Structure 1
Amino acid sequence: FVQDSGAQLLAVAIGNVHGRYKGEPKIHWDVLEAIHAESTVPLVLHGASGIAPADLSRSISFGVGKVNLNTELRTATLAALAGQLEGRRSDGQNVLGLLGDWERAVTEVVSATFVALRAT
């Protein structure tokens, strides 16, 4: 597939899912190892939200070069927004003025993830 399509990255499903997990993620390491052995391009974990930092770190040794943490980022953004709007009236609110808190919330999630990865 990679050769025929000219893909530069390959997104794989190995027990990871988009969104919140119902229970603990069950990563199929044997499948990831087999795909990595055949792949000539970096692998991507779409749906890396909820995967433990130690497992994200482990995935790197199997060729994963990109992870997507959209659920954590959206959760942080919505929490920042909820905190900003609490006790305020919405009329006349400067929506663009809210972006600074969103950016800080997302930066905290990404930073915490990378700190956790480095620690493993």
Structure 2
Amino acid sequence: MPLTTTAELVGAAAGSGRAVLAFNVVTLEQLGGVLAGAERAGHPVVLQVSENAVAFHGGRVGPLAAACRVAAEESAVAASLHLDHATDLDLVAGAAAHGFSSVMVDASRLPHDENVAVTARAARELHDQGLFVEAELGEVGGKDGAHAPGVRTDPGEAAAFVAATGVDALAVAVGSSHAMATRTARLDHDLVARLHAAVPVPLVLHGSSGVPPEDLRRAVAAGMTKVNVGTLLGLAFTAAVRDRLSADPSATDPRRYLREAREAVAEAVAQTLADVHADPAS
């Protein structure tokens, strides 16, 4: 179906008290797995390409972005394209030209006042192009970044940041952290509810791969709207490749093991969507 926008998906989720899941993709196999899993589960998704993924592809965003656009247009579920954790302002400025409808402007490593100034300027420029803008606090939330273990976002500071920058969504620190390989994070659901009450834009949960399913459902019920998943896909993909090559060390045709990796990603995506969209009481 036609490529949709992140604003539409996030808006629909916020209006229904549910969440939209956003999955990071690095390779074509992961991209295929994400959309196959979304089709099985019957839920829309945001396809996220991070600045790190662009760097992996030699600094060229065009090929992967084009693949995402075409794959989304041929999918049976609605999907949008999001540029994630972008610090390179030239990359940010070219996002719309590559089909991205949203950008996560990441100035969180800058001192707070600089973060506000850079994010506000980028938000104005991206809004002029019709793009949806996500951002996060940095040093206000802790010197190691907004998603360092133990860091929590203050509702008052979050509301002030949104007012000063004009962003459309805010990533908040409520107990998750990036690159967790085990689902042992425990979210502060009371804080999620207080942030939801204080912040006038949708909340975004980064580091969701480390959060147990029941905690994800409770977070959504408390007011979390966009849920980002990345590491979980890498774990599934890598395990499938490792298992296949261990069972068949003579394999040389990448189709023999990448097919299984793609299927593992599809299963992980379908299960995660089912987990998040299940009844919170289940």
Q: TM class, shorter-chain normalised?
A: 0.7 to 0.9
Aligned position for 2:199: 39
Q: Distance in 2 between matches of 1:40 and 1:46?
A: 19
Q: Distance in 2 between matches of 1:111 and 1:21?
A: 19
Are 2:177 and 2:210, in contact at CA under 8 Å, matched by a contact in 1?
no
Q: Please give the residue correspondences for 1:5-84 in structure 2 after superposition, counting only pairs within 5 Å.
A: 5-20=165-180, 24-84=184-244
Q: Distance in 1 between matches of 2:231 and 2:216?
A: 15
Compared CA separation, residues 78 and 4, structure 1 to 2 (3 A): same
- Supply the AA of the counterpart residue of 1:72: L
Q: Distance in 1 between matches of 2:244 and 2:182?
A: 30
TM-score (norm 2): 0.37
Q: CA deviation at 1:83?
A: 2.2
Compared CA separation, residues 111 and 63, structure 1 to 2 (3 A): same
TM-score (norm 1): 0.80
Q: Distance in 2 between matches of 1:59 and 1:21?
A: 20
Q: CA deviation at 1:116?
A: 2.5
Structure number with the bigger relative contact order (C-alpha 8 A, sep ≥ 6) is 1
Question: Helix, strand or coil: the match of 2:226?
Answer: strand
Q: CA deviation at 1:99?
A: 3.5
Q: CA deviation at 1:94?
A: 4.0
Compared CA separation, residues 3 and 103, structure 1 to 2 (3 A): farther
Q: Please give the residue correspondences for 1:70-109 in structure 2 after superposition, counting only pairs within 5 Å.
A: 70-86=230-246, 87-89=248-250, 93-95=252-254, 97=255, 98-109=257-268
Q: CA deviation at 1:22?
A: 7.7
Compared CA separation, residues 15 and 77, structure 1 to 2 (3 A): same
Q: Deviations over 1:71-108 (max 9, x none)?
A: 21111010111123223347xx344x244322211111
Aligned position for 1:115: 274
Question: Helix, strand or coil: the match of 1:68?
Answer: strand
- Supply the AA of the counterpart residue of 2:198: E
> Deviating runs (4+, > 3 A) in structure 1?
21-24
- Supply the AA of the counterpart residue of 1:108: E
Q: Distance in 2 between matches of 1:54 and 1:44?
A: 17
Question: Helix, strand or coil: the match of 1:109?
Answer: helix
Are 2:182 and 2:210, in contact at CA under 8 Å, matched by a contact in 1?
no
Q: Distance in 1 between matches of 2:261 and 2:207?
A: 21
Structure 2 alignment gaps of length 5 or more: 1-160
Query: Percent sequence identity over matched residues?
Result: 35
